[in-house]
Amino acid sequence: MTTEQGVNVGTVQLAYDERPTTEEVEELYQSGVFITLSYLFIFLIFIGVIDTYLTQPLRDLTNDANRIASGKYQEQFAINTNLNEVKFLTDSLELMRNELVNRGQKLADREKRIRALVNSITDIVLVCDLNGRLESVNQAVTSITDYTMRDLEQENVGKLINFNDVLLCITNPLTENLYETIATAKNGREIPVEVNVSELQQGGSYLLLILLRDIRERKRNEMDRYQYHNDMAHAGRLGIMGEMAAGIAHELNQPLAAISLYLQGCIRRCESNVLNKQEVLYAIKAANEQAMRAAGIIRRIKGFVRKDAEDENLEVVDINRLVKRSAEFVLLDKKYSNIRPQLFLTSQVLNAKVDSLQIEQVLVNLIRNAIEAIILKDSDSYFLKIYSNIDKEGLIKVCVIDSGHGVESKNINKIFDTYFTTKKDGLGMGLAICRSIIEAHDGVLQYFPGTDLGSEFYFTLPLYNS
């Protein structure tokens, strides 16, 4: 040790014993190891408890969920645990499963009802993609085409109908979605069908719903109606000829009498040996002209009462020509020949694709009715006018206007009814047949009271544009 002045006065020696410290450190170390092992033991116990009471139920819950998701919807979530949270989760999942099962059952029941409803439809119902590959068909396909539902699995719509026509309905907005075509049955026979096409969206893709209706019965009915219509029209023409028979016989008698006179003159010249070649030749030519006239009358009668097949009748004719021809035909009957119709026909060509014989029948009927009304009125002042033109809708319009007694107001709504007539010897078929003929040609036949107490009948027909 040294003083403040730096003088060394002595030394001090210190001693330290490390054993207590070492022993204390070892003791602390042993305590730490014990505590660590205790905590580790507690942690392992905690993990075991967690695994037993939480992790295992969750694993069981996951396994149940996977099993139910695989399609075993009737199995339930059954987890044995005392944890409220896990129980609550299990109960919630079970409720969700029950709800899904109930909804799935309802959907399945609804699908069964829809399938039963679709299969009860007598029309063929097809569902296909935009390439025509069939996805489903109903049972009607078997009764109509003899194909089974299995026959058409994964097949193309083209096996039944032309798929290009179906696509045209969807891609072309100007095309009707309803049209008629021919379907091919399993044995190759052709079936007339009506096709209705609509488009469905399912998810992100589009499907086509195609309805095929068997129209064989309808086609047969249409043919039967057409045949009936033709039979009625033919009966009407025969009725008209029966009523005109006396007048036409008189008209035929004139050329026949003239022929007889000319030939008698030739015979007398031959018997008297006084032959003038020019006179005989003139008489023979005159007789031939009268024979041609008689033959023309007979041809008109034969043509008027003939009965033809459907497709042979339609032709493009000028309606003005039919008007003139019909007026000339009516005037063959002597009792009608005193009343001459005035024709006010347009200079335009009124071409229409019609059954000219039936349109002539309508015109003859209307002209005869008008003349009979004028005769019945018994007036010195009369008129019968026939007009033709194109109306504001672009249709051919023909009017027959007379100065007869007209139609009583109480009968106006009845005159086109079958068997209604105001004539003593009438059958009530004429105007009914006329209207059916005009309507079959896509036209209308109407009546209006005339301005001078007479009548005005007019009909329209579509103008034919080649």
CATH code of the domain covering residue 273: 1.10.287
Write down which residue in 119, 153, 172 finishes a domain: 119
Residues comprising the chain, all counted: 466
Higher-confidence residue of 326 and 310: namely 326
C-alpha distances out from residue 117 to 77, 110, 440, Å: 37, 10, 38
H or E segment and range at residue 189: none
Note whether 172 and 67 are same-domain residues: no
Summarised one tens digit per residue, pLDDT across range 92-102 is: 667 777 777 77
Write down which residue in 285, 307, 329 finishes a domain: 307
Q: Does residue 265 belong to any structural domain of this protein? A: yes
H or E segment and range at residue 414: none
The region of weakest confidence among 13-27, 280-294, 310-324, 377-391 is 13-27
pLDDT of residue 459: 93
Q: Where are the alpha helices (DSSP H) in 378-458?
A: 430-440
Q: Does residue 139 belong to any structural domain of this protein? A: yes
CATH code of the domain covering residue 357: 3.30.565.10
Q: Does residue 402 belong to any structural domain of this protein? A: yes
**134 vs 177: CA distance, rounded Å:** 19
Note whether 180 and 87 are same-domain residues: no
C-alpha distances out from residue 121 to 108, 186, 333, 449, Å: 20, 20, 59, 51
**144 vs 150: CA distance, rounded Å:** 15
**230 vs 236: CA distance, rounded Å:** 10
C-alpha distances out from residue 230 to 8, 225, 394, Å: 161, 8, 28
Note whether 412 and 364 are same-domain residues: yes
pLDDT of residue 464: 87
Residues 6+ apart with CB under 8 A from 180: 192, 193, 194, 195, 215
Total tally of structural domains belonging to the chain: 4
pLDDT of residue 309: 44
Note whether 56 and 125 are same-domain residues: no
Summarised one tens digit per residue, pLDDT across range 327-357 is: 887 776 667 767 888 899 999 999 999 888 7
Summarised one tens digit per residue, pLDDT across range 398-420 is: 999 988 877 766 666 666 665 55
Domain that holds residue 293: 217-307
Note whether 196 and 210 are same-domain residues: yes
Token pair listed for 266 = 């030739």
Residue 389's pLDDT band, with cuts at 50, 70 and 90, is very high
Q: Does residue 22 belong to any structural domain of this protein? A: no
CATH code of the domain covering residue 166: 3.30.450.20
Winning range, highest mean pLDDT, from 25-39, 96-110, 131-145: 131-145
Q: Does residue 464 belong to any structural domain of this protein? A: yes
Average pLDDT of every residue of the chain: 76
Note whether 316 and 459 are same-domain residues: yes
Residue 186 identity (one-letter amino acid): K
H or E segment and range at residue 389: strand 384-390
Give the distance from CA 162 to its chain's centroid.
17
Would you say residue 182 has pLDDT above 60?
yes
Mean pLDDT computed over 109-123: 75
Would you say residue 376 has pLDDT above 70?
yes
Note whether 180 and 277 are same-domain residues: no
Note whether 287 and 147 are same-domain residues: no
Note whether 447 and 327 are same-domain residues: yes
Token pair listed for 139 = 């049972």
Summarised one tens digit per residue, pLDDT across range 121-178 is: 788 888 888 888 888 888 888 888 888 888 887 788 888 888 888 888 877 766 667 8
Residue 16's pLDDT band, with cuts at 50, 70 and 90, is low
Bridge partners (DSSP) listed for residue 212: 124, 195
Pairing of strands 190-202, 205-214: antiparallel
Q: Does residue 142 belong to any structural domain of this protein? A: yes
The region of weakest confidence among 110-119, 152-161, 298-307 is 298-307
**Closest by CA position to 244, among listed 256, 233, 252, 234:** 252
3-state secondary structure of 338: coil
The region of weakest confidence among 37-46, 71-80, 388-397 is 71-80
Q: What is the pTM of this model?
A: 0.46
Mean pLDDT computed over 261-273: 77
Higher-confidence residue of 12 and 458: namely 458
**292 vs 258: CA distance, rounded Å:** 12
Would you say residue 71 has pLDDT above 90?
no
pLDDT of residue 437: 82
Is residue 297 within 8 A of residue 333, CB to CB? The reply is no
pLDDT of residue 280: 78
Q: Does residue 162 belong to any structural domain of this protein? A: yes
Is residue 244 within 8 A of residue 333, CB to CB? The reply is yes
Note whether 351 and 436 are same-domain residues: yes
**88 vs 454: CA distance, rounded Å:** 95
Write down which residue in 64, 91, 119 finishes a domain: 119
**236 vs 253: CA distance, rounded Å:** 25
Would you say residue 54 has pLDDT above 60?
no
pLDDT of residue 334: 67
3-state secondary structure of 376: helix
Place of tokens 């009498």: 257
Residue 127 identity (one-letter amino acid): V
* CB hemisphere CA count around 130 (13 angstroms): 10
Is residue 369 within 8 A of residue 430, CB to CB? The reply is yes
pLDDT of residue 310: 45
**252 vs 216: CA distance, rounded Å:** 48
Note whether 328 and 266 are same-domain residues: no
**38 vs 32: CA distance, rounded Å:** 10
Note whether 292 and 222 are same-domain residues: yes
